[in-house]
Amino acid sequence: MYLPGAFKILIMSFLIICYFSTASLLWLLIKNKILQKKMLVTTINLYCKTILRILNIEVSINLHSINNDVSSPFLYVSNHLSYLDVLILFAYFPSCFITSREVKETPFLGLITTLAGCIFVERRSKNKIEDEIKEIEDTLKNKFSVFVFPEATSTNGEAIKKFKRPLFNAAITTQTSVLPLTINYLQINNQIINQQNKDLVLWYGDMTFFNHFFRLMFIKSIKVNIVISDKINPLGHDKTSLSLLANTIVEQSFIPIQ
């Protein structure tokens, strides 16, 4: 469904206002933290599905194993290429996202992620990591899936960075299966993604959010593929072996942008 760029901006502005209003009411009215988080995750899931239709983002999914029940609580791990990853993955995998304190401190994005029930980690300080892992463990124990981008940054689509290890401890402690996902952007405006057009969709480095998001409104179509690999049982793993295995699996399905 293609919509003109100016019309997209109007609709997106309306949706953002509606989302802020809805999520704020949930924060104010629901005092039970578990129920509050459940409602926030459900709300953002519905909004993200709507946004994908407005932006004409077509998502295909390859499931590597019929034994993966994606409704079970998982520690989801994926490569990271753009803020669009979050919209896409939220739409298909309702979960609590882990993001950085830097995002929380970013105007607009910080408010959105807070109202979405995200978990914030301080990647600039190793002293706080144990408390943050404990928060992730508690979230998993409460039967919420948790989503993490272990590269700890978005990339330019040429290669996947080495996964950071610490957050995998949460899966080991709670014996929660790790489910590796690989996201590949395939086409932009019906053209295969390449070095010349990738920056219309990918967001990395020192790119500014608002300029990129404004240009995104004028893209006619985007095609994305998500590969769901076999889940990993954390039994017998430490954080090093678990992160390395997940890293390898995600890389196997990744299509580098040429």
pLDDT, tens only, 20-60: 899 999 989 999 989 999 999 999 999 999 999 999 999 99
CB atoms within 10 A of CB 185: 25
CATH of the domain at 45: 3.40.1130
List the domain range (segments joined by +) for residue 70. 5-155+163-252
Residue 257 located in a structural domain: no
In this prediction, what percent of the chain has a pLDDT beyond 70?
95
Residue 59 located in a structural domain: yes
Tens of pLDDT, residue by residue over 55-113, are: 999 999 998 765 556 667 999 999 999 999 999 999 999 999 988 777 777 777 777 88
pTM attached to this predicted model:
0.91
Q: Give Rg (Cα) of the chain.
A: 18
| Structural domains counted in the chain | 1
- For residue 163, give Cα distances in angstroms to 152, 248, 250: 8, 9, 10
pLDDT of residue 70: 60
Tens of pLDDT, residue by residue over 189-207, are: 999 999 999 999 999 999 9
